[in-house]
Amino acid sequence: MGRIPGLSLAKTEMRLVGRSEAIRTIEADIECAARSDAKVLITGETGVGKEVVARQIHQRSLRAQGPLVNVNCAGLPDSLLESELFGHVRGSFTGAYRDKPGLLEMAPNGTVFLDEVGEMSMRMQVVLLRFLETGEIQRIGADRSHTRVNVRLITATNRDLPTQIASGAFREDLYFRLNVIRLTIPPLRERLDDIPLLVDYYLDTYSGQHRVARPEVSSAAMDVLMAHRWPGNIRELKNVIERLVLKTSGQIIRPNDLPADVFKPLIAAGAGISPGDGVAPRKPDARSAADDLAVRMLQNGESFWSAVYPVFMSRDLTRDDLRKIVQLGLESTNGNYRLLIQLFNMPDEDYKRFLSFLRKHDCHLPFQRFRVAPSRLPANAVSRSMLSNKA
């Protein structure tokens, strides 16, 4: 069979790269999914690594010796998608000169991965639902089922399927069939701990692939990479790193080596790095560093994760600096860490993650020492109080 866009018989080894809590959760979910033959639905933005997770489930399951068939539902028209999955009989359409088995028949005891299942037409959703209910293959042009197959189905989508159901674009009964085990992969901007590891991994990968010297990333350039929003997620990061490997030829990667769409938004946001920076900026004294970062959060509306976290993780900010920032905040919130989350422009759901980060780096300050006033400051007075304290 010739290669058809959107289809592949996968044998390539892939692995997850990262150390974040999200990655650990996904690893645990993969192990759980691999122990059964239940259907799996993987959700997440484009480029987060849904195919990698699907391959990991297959490779760790009892079906690992069988084939893994990848089908991109967005890349094939209905007629071709149905023919490739279920096969056809001779004469069923123009060009059907012989009977042809589908990929489902050709993957006995294996796994079929349907990527972008949310892009399926309503007609193909009905065809897939019929197969899931009976396990029987009916080739195009046949008047009855041809055989039953033993395959496992893993699906993925970047769509919000409940919203699609509400709008009538996706069948609710099919959704319930697919959504047995659910894995949700968070976007890269919510997995900041993984970025340095991913950068190192792809520097090694593409240096070896293109046979060039491996470059190193300066701390200033890493700050920019950590602060970028990565709308294309890991796929975008891969492309950026490959471009840098080819561009720098083994030299140190500096901020002005980065693509404009990564670096310029950071300059516009006032991150304190200019295009001409060749190395990380000189570290200021502890008090001015803490005050500067506090102002960036309060006056510029930057989040703690984009303003403070990258600088601390690149070791351009000491633990004393970080404790000073936390202290300034707690003095203004009367020791209330939940108000501190709002003050530092983080969503409420980041509360546990923020406390865990502080405890991990010995920067969690006891709230009791800041409870000196009988009542809390109102939220709209917090930022004014903090700025006046610094003044």
65/76 Cα distance (integer angstroms) = 27
> Which amino acid would we find at residue 104?
L
177/157 Cα distance (integer angstroms) = 15
Per-residue confidence (pLDDT) for residue 216, from 0 to 100: 93
183/42 Cα distance (integer angstroms) = 5
Burial 44-71 (b: 16+ CB within 10 A, else e): bbebbbbbbbbbbbbbebebeebbbbbb
Strand, helix or coil at 157? strand
The CATH code that applies to domain 190-268 is: 1.10.8.60
- What is the biggest distance separating any 2 CA atoms in the chain, rounded to whole angstroms? 85
Q: Is 96 exposed, middle or buried (0-12, 13-18, 19+ CB in 10 A)?
A: middle
Q: Token pair for residue 212?
A: 């060039």
Per-residue confidence (pLDDT) for residue 314, from 0 to 100: 80
Per-residue confidence (pLDDT) for residue 270, from 0 to 100: 46
| Residue 153 β-bridge partners | 112
Per-residue confidence (pLDDT) for residue 15, from 0 to 100: 75
Q: Which residues lie closer than 8 Å to 65 by C-beta, 6 or more apart?
A: 109
What residue ranges of the chain are covered by domains with CATH 1.10.8.60?
190-268
Give the up-direction half-sphere exposure of residue 53: CA atoms within 13 A in the CB hemisphere: 33
Mean pLDDT per block of 10 residues along the chain (391 residues) reads 40 72 93 95 94 95 92 81 76 67 82 92 90 80 73 94 93 95 93 93 94 91 87 93 91 87 58 45 47 79 88 83 86 82 88 89 83 46 46 42
> Which amino acid would we find at residue 155?
T
What residue ranges of the chain are covered by domains with CATH 3.40.50.300?
7-186
Cα–Cα distances in angstroms (integers) from residue 72 to residues 40, 98, 334, 368, 371, in the given order: 16, 25, 53, 55, 57
Q: Token pair for residue 133?
A: 């209910």
Q: Token pair for residue 367?
A: 């709230």
388/385 Cα distance (integer angstroms) = 5
Q: What share of the chain is helix, strand, coil (3-state, %, to 5)?
A: 50, 10, 40
* Check whether domain 7-186 has CATH 3.40.50.300, yes or no: yes
Cα–Cα distances in angstroms (integers) from residue 378 to residues 325, 332, 334, in the given order: 20, 10, 10
What is the β-pairing status of strands 181-184 and 40-43? Answer: parallel
